[in-house]
Chains A and B, each alone.
Chain A
Amino acid sequence: MMSPGILAAAVVKVLPKKATPLVFAALGGVLSENAGIVNIALEGIMAGGAFAAVATSYYTHSVALALASALVTGALLALVLAYFAIAQRADQIIVGMAINIFAIGGTAYLVSAVFGQPGASPQVAGLRDESALTWAAAAIVVALHVFLYRTRAGTHLRAVGEEPRAAATAGINVAAYRYGATMAGGALAALGGAYLSVGETDIYSDGMVAGRGFIALAAVIFGKWTPFGAAGACVFFAFFSGLQIVLQGANVPAQLLEMLPYLLTIVAIAGFIGRARPPASDGVVYEP
């Protein structure tokens, strides 16, 4: 058995790798949910971003373009959510599920159709040093906090998520904020997906997102819908997934460690460890 010190050092080493994609996706969720749009399509959007980055890198050999295409793909998938949620007043959860099924099936279809082989893309040019994205994620945590709580636009955005009718009366364009927050959030989540593909592995393979979008969703709730809270929850969850890698071979069942984020979220949302209260109009259809 390793000493606790060596164990901790080993976990800290894999922590950025595990946490970065989660943080991007969770920040995307924080942004849209503060504007009142629940995004349970984070999983599918991450897959879309991961695939778009690899496909773009495959054709252009440019990592910058790959990241840009992930951002655009994420924003477009989120636009579908925003359009149906805002203009069609559809149930956001159902639309989110539809995007998940559509994006995960669609990327699997595209892997076959574009690369001519099912399951995984060939190796493509990727980021030489993905720690740049980790720093970017950290910077966005701070920036999003400042934006949400220290700027006029951020206050308006939160007002739209809490009391859209009052916000509208005060002259705030509810739909514009919701579209903007949802699309920017989608772009962030897709960047988390791109980290998995052109950052970590330089390929896209079916199922590579592997539930991270839902862990990010859990982190949003666990972090009480704030940037620092959600990012902290991501690091916390990443710690356990790192621990599980480090403890491989030791007599600790990996599945039970992996289960922890999900169990904790259930406990959190049931209010056992402080009330996890979403923005008041989160997920509620707004009828102007």
Chain B
Amino acid sequence: MTTYNTLKKIIPPDQALANQALSRSLRQVKDIFRADLPGVSEAVSNLESNKDLDLINALATPIPTVVTDFVGNTLATGTGPGNTVTTNDIIGIAAGATVNSELPVVTTVVTELANLGALTPLTANGGSSGSAVNGIYTLMSYALTGAYSSGGNVANSTTIPNTTHYAGPQTFGDVDLAFSTAGTGLIAVANSYISNIATTYANLVNQANDAANACAQQLVLNVDNCTAAGIDIGNVVNDVANANLVANSVSTALGLASQLHDIGLDVSEGGAAQFFENIANITNLTGQAVIASMREGRNIAVLNAVGIQLDTQLVDVNANTTVANNLGNAQYSVAEARANIVI
């Protein structure tokens, strides 16, 4: 490398300075050492600047904080690296994202509480509507059958009997009031027992609540991101016929099949490959083929990387296409070609 101090002893100092300065400027250009001068000249001739764009030219950072903050709040809401969005963030509930691991925690806690007898005030069932040991849920069930209503009619006066778990008898105008009346209604009493359980078994209940909240959070994440992605998730769940989706779209099925190699390449946590692994029907041929296709896609990628091609693709449908017979023949025969030759 020629330094300025050296060059100015070889060529006129002013030219040395200009050359060194120009060299330094040119070396600021990304990848310029891979280019040639004719190519550079062609490119430079067509470059455009931010001329007259005063706000752009005044920027002190590539992307202002107001933009990064807004983008972050609007789009960087996912669970991927840097809060990037993953497939599971949008539709992961179908693959059991979060729920598969968290819901069993809830189930285990409730089972444990039942085994401890903690749920008895709610669930105890003496076998008849008049049993003195009936819990609140059991009383609710009988009440809804009209067992405690005058004439068996839930619209009539309803008297909930006294039991080990309910301070009765309490008479209400109808079964609805038997449920809804503050203090003595069945819902209020059940709520009181649930509070007691939550207090008495706080550690267990907190475990279950945290797990249930995680499941709910997964749902919320999916709802929010589906909405952002333009998916009418409300109707997808409750009224799919009005969810702006085309039913029985064969082209969609074919398109999805052709994507399976690419889907398999997204092996990120919460990504498309993980999602499809979880929704593939592993018990039948086509479901296993989904997983095989993704594996095949990954194999193709790693083998192609070292220059090896896989012979897994079926013959292109073009091979079975009958060539149209009404196209003009654009090739000369030998005789025709010979006839065209000038000696």
Same complex for A and B? Answer: no
Interface residues of B, Cβ cutoff 8 Å to A: none
